[in-house]
Amino acid sequence: MTLTERCLQIIGDTARIPSFSSFEERLHPYLLDAAEKIPGCEITVVAERNLLFYVPGKRPGLVALTAHLDKIDHFGPDCPAELPFTRTETELQGQMDNTAGIGITMSLLEQAPQQQWPGLLVLLSEMEESKGLREHPERLRDAGKGLTSGMGAERLARHLIDEALLPDAVITVDTTPLFRGEPGCALYTGHWEFTKTDPTPKEQARTLALADRLTELDPLLYRGNNTNDYLTYGKVLNEETGPETAVPSVALEPAIFPYHQRDERVFIADIDRILGLLASYLGTHQPF
């Protein structure tokens, strides 16, 4: 099975599971089963609903790929046991936010033991979405009590700090609405524009170097910005470790349409494009 075909399989499998915000553990059995089959993969469950997978590398360095586990609950009390998912020759349709990111990161993790890549972390977080908290808190665990958007990424970032597992770079894979129904892939940089933090010159330089390298590998990337977990990783990993750390945090995003609704669609060509870009990056990564 090719990398792309395996990725599409994971996307379809995870899209069918009603792993809504605060119920991310519904995805755990599937993902843990996949990770347990990867030679040398180390598995950590962080604060009950976040997953961290690590595969040692054959090149120097450590790269973190991230995605969020939670889906927005568009179904309510009449939610089916299996969510709808369809695949055509060109598109995937269903709950693609963020099963697209899960499929991309997990399929690359499965490839890691066979590749000449640096060490690879895959971070899968709870509660990235804020829509449920704002609009339907009654659908969340304990009616949303104690929950905040981005809490999973914050917990995972702090775990990396506590365990001295700081990566050379963090690349979050989510989905972007910027292309309004057309195919495309976006690169988000500059978390400080949203987090209102003051990046050090070293963090800015390393972020620019990472963005330039990704753009060199895929010159058609659209450079933009939007909110997702990449903001939290950038803020926590840099503010709480001191000015000499400077971990660049960016996001790579295939197009999605409609956005934050039922029956979201992503383009298979965009998924393949992100996979190829990340595989190329991992194969040429050099620590800063």
User: From the CB of residue 195, how many other CB atoms can be counted at a distance below 10 Å?
Assistant: 18
What beta strand segments (E) does the chain contain?
A: 42-46, 50-55, 62-68, 86-87, 91-94, 119-125, 169-173, 185-188, 222-224, 249-254, 264-267
Q: For the chain, how long is the longest CA-to-CA vector?
A: 51
* pLDDT of residue 10 exceeding 90: yes
* pLDDT for the residue numbered 121: 98
Q: What are phi and psi of 193, to 5 degrees?
A: -65, -25
Average pLDDT over residues 232-261: 96
Residue 243: pLDDT band by 50, 70, 90 thresholds? confident
> What's the mean pLDDT when you consider all of the chain?
97
Residue 214: pLDDT band by 50, 70, 90 thresholds? very high
pLDDT, tens only, 168-204? 999 999 999 999 999 999 999 999 999 999 999 999 9
Average pLDDT over residues 231-258: 96
pLDDT, tens only, 49-88? 999 999 999 999 999 999 999 999 999 999 999 999 999 9
* pLDDT for the residue numbered 53: 99
C-alpha atoms less than 13 angstroms from C-alpha of 17 in its C-beta half-sphere: 21
C-alpha–C-alpha distance, residues 255 and 51, integer Å: 25
Q: What is the dihedral of CA 12, 17, 22, 23, to 10 degrees?
A: -140
* pLDDT for the residue numbered 263: 95
Residue 246: pLDDT band by 50, 70, 90 thresholds? very high
pLDDT, tens only, 103-147? 999 999 999 999 999 999 999 999 999 999 999 999 999 999 999
C-alpha–C-alpha distance, residues 225 and 277, integer Å: 19
Average pLDDT over residues 144-162: 98
C-alpha–C-alpha distance, residues 226 and 258, integer Å: 16
Nearest one of 128, 188, 197 to 156, comparing CA atoms: 128
Q: Which two tokens stand for residue 206?
A: 């390393």
C-alpha–C-alpha distance, residues 222 and 273, integer Å: 13
* pLDDT of residue 242 exceeding 90: no
* pLDDT for the residue numbered 104: 99
SS (H, E, C) 129-141: CCHHHHHCHHHCH
* pLDDT of residue 162 exceeding 90: yes
